A and B are shown apart, each in its own frame.
Chain A
Amino acid sequence: MMRGKGYFFKWYVALFLVFLYAPAILLPVFAFNDSSIVSFPLKGFTTKWFEVLQSTEALHVAVRNSLMIAVTTAIFSTLFGVLAARASTRFAFPARRSIMGFIMLPMVLPEIIIGVSLLVVIIQLGFELSLFTIILGHILICTPFCIAILSSAFMNLDRSLEEASIDLGQTRWNTFWMVIFPLVMPGIVASLLIAFTISLDEFIIAFFLAGTEPTLPVYIWGQLRFPQKLPSLMALGTLLLVLSISLLLLADYFRRRGLKKTGIENSGGFL
């Protein structure tokens, strides 16, 4: 019966959403709970766990490290992504398919393999482990995602737009900045955000390649040994949750604005 089928799917979707989001909703609940033990029943409202965050110097360092790494990674992997996407969609060169395939490979390689092999290489080369080595690792894993996003942005670009610009007397350099760049802008924003997000919460590579300076995920992992730190980690998680959702909304706002500007039908997206 049609009705029975519809019922089943409604419940399925509802359960799916609960399992997906319930754990995340627990974060803010316990972040404001006035008890050092993370369990029900709740004890009362407090903001003291956020104050703890404010006064933990080591956390601030980790956040600063992570932000620095994520921003640098986002910029460089997007830059490489733009170059690769442009080359692969616009020019024909020998072995294009296999080259692109190898570039995309880190997307499916287990991170632990990448982490271990990078560690071996870096030590063999005699580099000190530092934020710089983490950035190298993160660029390696983020670039394939950026290329995937940017390739579709570049592929949707009508090639005759570029030719029209040159035909009208513009140079290739200006054509890139005046025609191509504005039209792939939504793709670039999406690429920056994806790379930023991946880098920000990446743990395995950061764990292997971090010298004495931890990133945020590595710091959090380190704190999990102390049960009394758990509520403040919940507070930290709440902040990260708010930050991620804001970033997502921002990205979608830019994407919609880009679509509106170019008059392309809105077809999906994040939200």
Chain B
Amino acid sequence: MTQPIIQLSGVDKFYGDFQALSQIDLDIRTGEFFSLLGPSGCGKTTLLRSIAGFETPSAGSLHIDGKSMDGVPANKRPTNMVFQSYAIFPHMSVAENVAYGLKARRLPKAEIQERVSEAISMVGLQGFDSRASHALSGGQRQRVALARALVLKPRVLLLDEPLSALDKKMREQMQSELRRLQRAVGITFVLVTHDQEEALTMSDRIAVMFDGKIAQVATPQMLYGKPSSRRVGNFIGMMNFLEAELLGTSGQTVEVDVQSLGRLTLPLSQAPGGVDGCQSVGIRPEMLTILAEGQTAEREIEAVVSEVFYYGDMTYYDVTLLQKDAPVTVTMRNTAGRKVLAAGDTARVGWSPVSLLLLR
């Protein structure tokens, strides 16, 4: 394992009495696509801006490439940023925008020209060199912002909600393109987003943040499959929660009494955030199945359909399990021959203990 490109330890940030960041410890690995994910106001942008040098942490240390960034201003850091508004200089052409940072470094003219046209074609804007930047579409502006930052070959590229201003189609296209670009240039990308889908599809690893603290750092699969708390599980995708009572641990297993589902023995690996203080089990809607006639499952439970949401390829059911809990959601793919139930129908819901998570 090589040295992490970015190391944060014990980073705090206060604005007056308000604590925007609290004891952030984080290592970002060289060459990875890393996302900071959280609801608005969770401190993710403050963290990104601290790495860029636009905010000064109140406490703690920040190292980039092994060097302390204490007192190093933004224009001397080996990072470049793609701003949420793209911040394209409106009085300059595409090529002038891309050349801006190279000119600041006083590179020879020929080299600037070469690197600019290389960067412009890398983001697919060939032929747009002399286009005025205000005559560009949202997607094109973003490409200019990317080219302008990547042309400087930074050690880390910081992206502040870069896709939030684009429409859905464009956003999906840029997602795969960003990923391709990151692999091609091999530069560490740190992306800030509030969109969990965006984070899951693009990232190597994700840090989920709430209230200025990091709740969990994991790969997309780990984050979705083994969230460390109810809050993370609820933020990343959908999750049903059932009340549970801890009965005791023995060796590698824990015994719980779960509302509706009854007494169960689960391995400790299904309590990813630790066993202490857990009061509920979570289960993803797609881990529950509405059983068709004659179909069986490892475990079954009687339920009544209370609401039906039909999405075409999928149907989302709210069902009430046998003990009148709050309804749980079940998502089913509308595969060939599968009947879509109506509200009020009774159904057998199939589930398996392996898809349960004991959470705090």
Contacts and interface: CB of A to CB of B under 8 A. Distances in A.
B104 A167 contact: no
A39 interface: no
A169 B75 contact: yes
Contacts of A166: 73-75
Contacts, number: 71
A167 B75 contact: yes
Nearest to B77: A167
B83 A163 contact: yes
Contacts of A223: none
A261 B91 contact: yes
Nearest to B132: A263
B309 interface: no
A262 to B, nearest CB: 4
A101 interface: no
A145 to B, nearest CB: 26
Contacts of B85: 158, 160
Contacts of B149: 167-168
B101 A168 contact: yes
Please indicate which of the listed interface residues A158, A168, A261, A263 has the most CB atoms of chain B within 10 Å of its own CB. A168
Contacts of B76: 169
Is chain B's binding surface mostly helix, strand, loop or mixed?
mixed
Nearest to B145: A164
Interface residues of B, number: 28
B157 to A, nearest CB: 11
Interface residues of A, number: 20
A263 B81 CA distance: 24
A165 interface: yes
Given A169-B104, A171-B75, A263-B135, A164 B83 contact: yes
B90 A263 contact: yes
Contacts of A161: 87, 89-90
B101 A169 contact: yes
A170 B100 CA distance: 8
B75 A170 contact: yes
B163 interface: no
Contact of A163 (B79, B87, B105): B87
A263 B74 CA distance: 29
Contacts of B135: 263
Contact of B100 (A163, A168, A183): A168
Given A158-B85, A263-B134, A167 B90 contact: no
A117 interface: no
A182 interface: yes
A264 B90 CA distance: 9
B90 A261 contact: yes
Given A160-B83, A169-B104, A263-B135, A183 B91 contact: yes
Interface of B: 52-54, 73-76, 79-81, 83-85, 87, 89-91, 100-101, 104-105, 132-135, 148-149, 152
Given A161-B90, A168-B75, A170-B104, 9 more contacts: A163-B81, A166-B75, A167-B54, A167-B74, A167-B81, A168-B152, A170-B75, A174-B104, A261-B90
14 contacts: A161-B90, A163-B74, A163-B87, A164-B81, A165-B89, A167-B52, A167-B80, A167-B81, A168-B75, A168-B148, A169-B75, A261-B91, A262-B134, A264-B134
